[in-house]
Amino acid sequence: MPGFLKKIIYFHILPILIAGTLCAAYMRYSQKRSEIVNSSFTSRILNTLHSFDKFYPNDITHETALAVALKERIPVLFGSSELTSHHLKGIAQQFFGRENSADKFLAVGHAGFQSFAILTTLAANRPLLKDAKITIILSPGWFEGHYASGTSLPSFFEFCPPNYLYQIYKDTAIDKETKHYIKKYIYENYDKITKPNAILRAMGKKQATVLNTFFNYPFKALDRLELYEQEQKDFYLVSQNVIVNTVYRTYTTPYKFKNRTVNWDSLNKEALQSFELISNNNTLGVENKYYESGLKNKPKKKVKAVNAENNQELKDFKILIRFLKENHVKPLFVIMPLNTLAHENLEALQPTINDIKQLLKENDLKTLDMFSPNVTSYQKGVLEDMMHPYNVGWYKIDKFILDNYYD
């Protein structure tokens, strides 16, 4: 057989036949997978689940909860380490998701859930974002010092697990710039990934020359074959695709986020009195144990500003805003304060905060701006420590969400 015919058979006809066979097999199992999701998870999960920290391998509980919440317009709050202050009664998931009530609210995130991770989480749920009630908390600390280098690889995998990455890879409706940006992140971090699977190999390839593409074709064919095999054997890999398609097609009555009468003055007065009792061993406006263990006899933390050109977090944030605009999504944004009594040089962050605010304003995105470098304007009790809200701060956020999202 002539050599060129062998190449055509091995590298063109054979892969097409294999792909066709595996795609047919995928179609046979798709109905069964939908039945698994429908029978195992319903919106009732959100009657008791009001927050989660990240996504866990081979467990689709959190993916399902988030998908249902987005589709049913249940308020969803994205944030980082502030969402782990479960001892505070003002924290949004406890304020709105009260025990023994029918109230629904979902808070998602823990430390490391920054702009790029938020982007991938939303991208993996793109078909469900229309009319979703989303609030995103931005910490100024993301944009300074080493945090300005952007989402770490461990955090990326916590918030973009294999089933999310597969969904992003398969979703042809995600705009090219967003998908390219995600691929670029994987490519730039590829050498740090231990045993990358077929999806990571497919997403992490650099744009090659025509010659490289030709010689790498057999390897790409093998990657595609491995991916097809995984699609048949590994339900977890395709689970987000099944979840999104199932939830998207299912008719649901949007959740009514009811308005309620809240005596904010009374809550704030009680919270301020409580904070005075737990912060009486220092003048920095932080909780006593926190002061003793981390701040006593130490200098104030000096903020290290990073210019826009080198600020990866700011670049990630701009891509996030672009993705939101591309998909006609308008979440609320909260810009958190930093404790001016425990920091110095906070004014160095103001230009970055101004850039963020200007971008939000240009895109007509409602914003609660709590940041100020002014020492005299800082109110003790808004934060519990250097950056995390106490009840006083949470009540401001709760009110902002309620005022904008109640039905």
Q: What is the rounded CA–CA span in Å between residue 131 and residue 107?
A: 17
User: What pTM value is reported for the model?
Assistant: 0.87
Per residue, the 3-state secondary structure of 86-149, as one string, reads: CCCCCCHHHHHCCCCCCCCCEEECCCCCCHHHHHHHHHCCHHHCCCCCEEEEECHHHHEHHHHH
Q: What is the rounded CA–CA span in Å between residue 26 and residue 236?
A: 14
Question: Are the C-beta atoms of 184 and 122 separated by less than 8 Å?
Answer: no
Question: Are the C-beta atoms of 73 and 255 separated by less than 8 Å?
Answer: yes
Q: What is the rounded CA–CA span in Å between residue 117 and residue 161?
A: 11
Q: What is the rounded CA–CA span in Å between residue 176 and residue 156?
A: 20
| Residue pLDDT tens, the chain, 407 long | 555 554 444 444 444 443 444 344 444 444 445 444 443 455 677 888 999 999 999 999 999 999 999 999 999 999 999 999 999 999 999 999 876 577 899 999 999 999 999 999 999 999 999 999 999 999 999 999 999 999 999 999 999 999 999 999 999 999 999 999 999 999 999 999 998 888 898 888 765 544 455 545 565 666 666 666 777 778 899 999 999 999 999 888 899 999 999 999 999 999 999 999 999 999 999 999 999 999 999 999 999 999 999 999 999 999 999 999 999 999 999 999 999 999 999 999 999 999 999 999 999 999 999 999 998 899 999 999 999 999 999 999 999 999 999 98
Q: What is the rounded CA–CA span in Å between residue 150 and residue 143?
A: 8
Q: What is the rounded CA–CA span in Å between residue 202 and residue 287?
A: 48
pLDDT reported for residue 231: 74
Domain boundaries, the chain: 1-407
Q: What is the rounded CA–CA span in Å between residue 226 and residue 198?
A: 7
Residue 156, classified by CB atoms within 10 Å of its CB into exposed (0-12), middle (13-18) or buried (19+), is buried
How many secondary structure helices (H) and strands (E) does the chain include?
16, 8
Closest by CA position to 79, among listed 43, 54, 49, 48: 54
Question: Are the C-beta atoms of 361 and 389 separated by less than 8 Å?
Answer: no
Diameter of the chain measured on Cα atoms: 88
Q: What is the rounded CA–CA span in Å between residue 318 and residue 303?
A: 22
